[in-house]
Amino acid sequence: MPYHHGDLRAALLDAAEDLVRERGADGWSLREACTRIGVSPSAAYHHFASRDVLVRALSQRVLARLGTLSAAVPGTDPRQRVIAIAQTYVRWAISDPAVSRLAFSAGEPDAPISPHPHDVLAAELDRLSLPSADFLVWAAMHGLAMLLADGLMRFDDDAAVDGETARLIGALLDGLPAQLGPHPRARSAHTDRRGSADEHGGVEDLGSAGSR
């Protein structure tokens, strides 16, 4: 649809997201996103200096959207919320596979992500007294999502997917208290930057694709 007025930045992000769904993360250009909404590349450069900048901004928007979905899961029991977060994550990844893959492969975003989905998960695990289990739970739910998205596992319906996700995460949560002795601590660009922000007296919700 031609672009006429309003928020050009958002329109370019919308066009890029549509192109990702149609062609995958790498099968399109910034010029094509501009053509789709009827503006010149020079107009886009006021917001995105390159395709890579646009991709990182799209990743940021997608991850923030996932963080909002994760934070909005129902209930107050932290165990059930962790399971619901995992179910939300798996459903999202398999329903929008091209966009989810872009979100986790775009590199470090240029601006803070809030709420970051990894931080939402970590907060619930803190409430379960499992503060160092965030990467283990994320690995389990991301692995299940990728197996399903790639067709290496199949279920008959969404209810079966939710059930298997609950079974996997429930079993992991049951076994974690016995496994949380000394161990190497996983890190990511996001956790490194969070740690740096904490050391300087502030907590900065800086996102990195797919990490806390």
Residue 208 has φ and ψ, to the nearest 5°, of: -130, 145
Residue 209: pLDDT band (50, 70, 90) is very low
Q: Are 133 and 125 in contact (CB under 8 A)?
A: yes
Which span out of 82-91, 113-122, 177-186 was modeled with the highest average pLDDT? 82-91
Is the pTM for the entire model greater than 0.85?
A: no
Closest CA to 194 of 183, 186, 202: 202
Question: With 50 as the cut, is the pLDDT of residue 207 above it?
Answer: no
Q: What are the Cα distances from residue 164, in Å, to 128, 130, 139, 170? A: 21, 22, 15, 10
Structure confidence at residue 202 (pLDDT): 42
Cβ-based neighbours of 174, under 8 Å, separated by 6 or more: none
Query: Which amino acid makes up residue 136?
Result: L
pLDDT over 90 for what percent of the chain? 70
Residue of higher predicted confidence among 84 and 212? 84
**The predicted structure's pLDDT at residue 63:** 95
- Give the confidence band of 200 by pLDDT, cuts at 50, 70, 90: very low
Average pLDDT in the 185-198 region?
66
Q: What is the pLDDT of residue 212?
A: 34
Supply the pLDDT for residue 190.
Answer: 67
Q: pLDDT digit string (tens) for 14-48?
A: 999 999 999 998 989 999 999 999 999 999 998 99
Please tell me the predicted confidence (pLDDT) of residue 60.
93
128 token code pair: 């379960």
Q: Per-residue pLDDT averaged across 140-168, rounded?
A: 96
Residue 129, class by beta-carbon neighbours within 10 Å (0-12 exposed, 13-18 middle, 19+ buried)?
Answer: exposed
Cα gap 105→164, rounded to integer Å: 26
Domains of the chain: 1-49 (1.10.10.60), 60-193 (1.10.357)
Q: DSSP assignment of 57-91, as one string?
A: HHHHHHHHHHHHHHHT-S-S-HHHHHHHHHHHHHH
Residue 178: its pLDDT value, please?
65
Residue-level pLDDT at 165: 98
Instruction: Check residue 206 and give its pLDDT.
Output: 26
**pLDDT-derived band at 197, boundaries 50, 70, 90:** low
127-141 per-position pLDDT tens digit: 999 988 999 999 999
